[in-house]
Amino acid sequence: MNPPADHPTWCDRDRCDRFRTHVSPVVHVDTNRTEETVMDVALIKPWTPVTDPQVSLTVTAGPTVDQVVMSLGQARALAYRLRELLAAAGEGPR
């Protein structure tokens, strides 16, 4: 499959060509302290024109790496639910 002529504004062209899918720069979920679990998020969108962007969450815990790919709607709902849980724990917006 040839690379598409148009790329989303968030697409990292080098990674796009390597993975044969639109991929944003990876954002590390950093708490400024050592954590047992490392998390990274990125936007992805296969080169097929009918596919919507998705959010990729990669979780590394020791030697185990898991990836969850979710729709933008699921990511939005997850963000909302996390805000609710943080508020319940007394860790609201800062």
Comparing 47 with 24, which gets the higher pLDDT?
24
Instruction: Find the range with the poorest average confidence among 33-37, 38-42, 53-57.
Output: 33-37
* CA–CA dist 60, 39 (Å, integer): 6
pTM for this model (two decimals) = 0.83
Residue 4 placed within a domain: no
Residue 2 placed within a domain: no
Q: Which residues pair with 64 in a beta bridge?
A: 61
Q: Quick one: pLDDT at residue 17?
A: 84
Q: What total number of domains does the chain contain?
A: 1
- What average pLDDT does range 34-48 have in this prediction? 92
Residue 60 placed within a domain: yes
Q: Quick one: pLDDT at residue 19?
A: 82
Q: Are 47 and 22 in contact (CB under 8 A)?
A: yes
Half-sphere exposure of 72 (CA within 13 A, CB side): 6
55 φψ region: left (φ > 0), alpha (ψ -120 to 50), beta (else): beta
Which residue segment(s) compose the domain that 67 sits in? Answer: 13-88
Going by C-alpha positions, the residue among 45, 54, 41 that lies closest to residue 6 is 45
Q: Quick one: pLDDT at residue 66?
A: 97
Q: Check pLDDT > 90 for residue 3.
A: no
Residue 39 placed within a domain: yes
How would residue 81 be classed by pLDDT, with cut points 50, 70 and 90? very high
Per cent of the chain over pLDDT 90 is 64
Residue 3 placed within a domain: no
Residue 1 placed within a domain: no
